[in-house]
Amino acid sequence: MDIARRTTVAVAAIALAVAASACSARREPVRESRPALGTVVTIEAYGSDERALRGAIADAFDEIAAVERALDAYSTTSSVAAINADPYAEHALPPEAAVVLDEVERLGVSAEFSPALRAVVRLYGFDGTPTVPAPGDLALALAASRTFSRPTTATGVFQRLGVHEPRLAPGGLLAPGLDLGGAAKGLALDRAREALRARGVTAAIVSAGSTTVTLGTKPGGRPWRIGIEHPRDTGRVMAVAEWTGEAALSTSGDYQQSFVRDGIRYHHIIDPATGEPARGVQSLTVAGRISGLASDILSTALFVRGADRALAYARERSVSVWLVDGEGHIRTANAAADAGVRIAPADER
């Protein structure tokens, strides 16, 4: 999933607005929105000093831009773009990429979340002409993605293995490449939150469409409330996640970057085992006392795992999951009660 050329703003997660009449002027946040991460990022920060809050928000957007400069696979100047320009050489990983890969391993989802599927995703033409890849091309692209390997040492080097395989032209459609867009948004929002914290902000919400993180608790102890859209009726909030304090939420759906051909929906959430769009889930939301990075990774990885295994993982790790399966049925697993992060149907809130 790229972070620079996404043409559809992911709106699966929406921060529910609080009516102005419900809060006094000093409780209303300073709010800024800017295009970033392939969508629109909105930061709302609470406090009494508007000038200080705007300075903190500016720092937060600087941190988001720094993550883009490192991880944007579709920028010609990013660190990852330099790796993709010469995928057959050894490269030092940007620190941000190492953080992502470490988190994928820590979460135990490396089989479902691969940062090396750029060649596979490009075959589908989500950012141009939608195409169902020929089986031979898909097999070559998938093989190319598997030639990337990260050493277990702490050298921070991403290298190509399988040197006896035919070399594909660097930059060509089937050339191997890295794309960490499925995690960059979560990492960027985490960095933004820490920038706000460093500037003394004690309550804020940072949202980038499909991913949201919170800092502290709203004035008066009011909960953060995040709406979750229905994947087949976007614009209708079907569920609401609610918590106080710090947590994160991410949604992945088959309606973002997708097309339908011969009655079959093709979308950007690729199963690394097959190179084909993952089946069996329409949308999946993860929320919990976790980082934005973890929520971003898990929403993709658990989507690929499928409904049953996703819910089992959620129960084991005490995170909340709300998903719509391939048949349109809603299935849920809420975190332990003491986690304080709950997702419920919108009409129950």
Using 50, 70 and 90 to split pLDDT, how confident is the model at 88? Answer: confident
Report the alpha-carbon distance of residue 223 to residue 36 in Å, rounded. 26
Cross-strand bridge partners of residue 218: none
Report the alpha-carbon distance of residue 62 to residue 80 in Å, rounded. 19
Give the number of other CB atoms < 10 A from CB of residue 251.
Answer: 30
Report the alpha-carbon distance of residue 119 to residue 135 in Å, rounded. 14
Report the alpha-carbon distance of residue 58 to residue 66 in Å, rounded. 13
Mean pLDDT of 322-333: 97
Longest Cα separation, the chain:
68
Report the alpha-carbon distance of residue 57 to residue 68 in Å, rounded. 17
Q: How far apart are the first and last CA of the chain?
A: 32
| Structure tokens that stand for 282 in this block | 């329409």
Mean pLDDT of 119-145: 91
239 and 343 Cβ atoms separated by less than 8 Å: yes
Give the number of other CB atoms < 10 A from CB of residue 139.
Answer: 12
Q: Is 49 exposed, middle or buried (0-12, 13-18, 19+ CB in 10 A)?
A: exposed
User: pLDDT (tens digit, 9 = 90+) per residue, 267-323?
Assistant: 999 999 999 999 999 999 999 999 999 999 999 999 999 999 999 999 999 999 999
Please state the φ and ψ torsions of residue 8, each to the nearest 5 degrees: -110, 120
pLDDT at position 266 over 90: yes
Using 50, 70 and 90 to split pLDDT, how confident is the model at 84? Answer: confident
Angle at 29 between CA 217 and CA 225, to 5 degrees: 50
252 and 41 Cβ atoms separated by less than 8 Å: no
Give the number of other CB atoms < 10 A from CB of residue 289.
Answer: 17
Half-sphere exposure of 138 (CA within 13 A, CB side): 16
DSSP 8-state secondary structure symbol assigned to residue 28: S
User: pLDDT (tens digit, 9 = 90+) per residue, 199-243?
Assistant: 999 999 999 999 999 999 999 999 999 999 999 998 899 999 999
Tokens 């050489």 appear where? 89
Cα-Cα-Cα-Cα dihedral of 20, 345, 226, 14, to 10°?
A: -90
User: pLDDT (tens digit, 9 = 90+) per residue, 148-173?
Assistant: 655 444 444 454 433 334 444 455 66
Average pLDDT, the chain: 86
What local confidence, expressed as pLDDT, does residue 264 receive? 95
Domain extent listing, the chain: 70-181
72 and 78 Cβ atoms separated by less than 8 Å: yes
Strands 91-92 and 148-149: what pairing? Answer: unpaired
What local confidence, expressed as pLDDT, does residue 3 receive? 45
